[in-house]
A and B are shown apart, each in its own frame.
Chain A
């Protein structure tokens, strides 16, 4: 079946602009995660959804970052007033029910803030 998909694959924006990154999880997966991967580093946890609600948003760096999952499937990560330091690859993963279930990752969205 289809895996996790993310759009766009690449996004270039200017400092101060607003961006939205989309994640389509594996069908039927109730848990969805966002991670951020900076160059030369491993992924960094941002937020975890269980169904429609954010069960853990402790990894969001500040209030410019926000994520939603209104119908419990597709999720959108929103970044306001982008800064150059936001440049990274944003990864989405989903798992069957959360907890210790295996997380399946999408290919990521590479965000570049000029």
Chain B
């Protein structure tokens, strides 16, 4: 069965530093991969979506993610963290059905001033 692993329940970076949030999926290549962000008291918001058109996917707010089949990874990065990036980030993949999302446990990003 498909599964998603996010390394680190909490990640802390300094403002201006590189953000790297890790996501690995289980062995079979899922049809689609996603990163969502959840700000406090708000709904999940789509950051970016991989659809096999390109391995490097650019999203909103300066985030991007690279699909690496050999590493079964879809890590999220941003060159320079901003205080407003503090939130919880979720990686998700679809099952073969394409609509059912399988989610990681989430990583809370903390930005230090």
Contacts and interface: CB of A to CB of B under 8 A. Distances in A.
Nearest to A41: B105
B61 interface: no
Nearest to A48: B99
B60 to A, nearest CB: 12
Question: Main SS of the interface on chain A?
Answer: loop
Interface residues of B, number: 26
A43 B43 CA distance: 12
Given A91-B43, A102-B49, A42 B105 contact: yes
Interface in A55-99: 56, 59, 91, 93, 95, 98-99
Interface of A: 3-4, 31, 33, 35, 40-45, 48, 56, 59, 91, 93, 95, 98-100, 102-108
Interface of B: 4, 9, 31-32, 36, 41-46, 49, 51, 90, 92, 94, 97-106
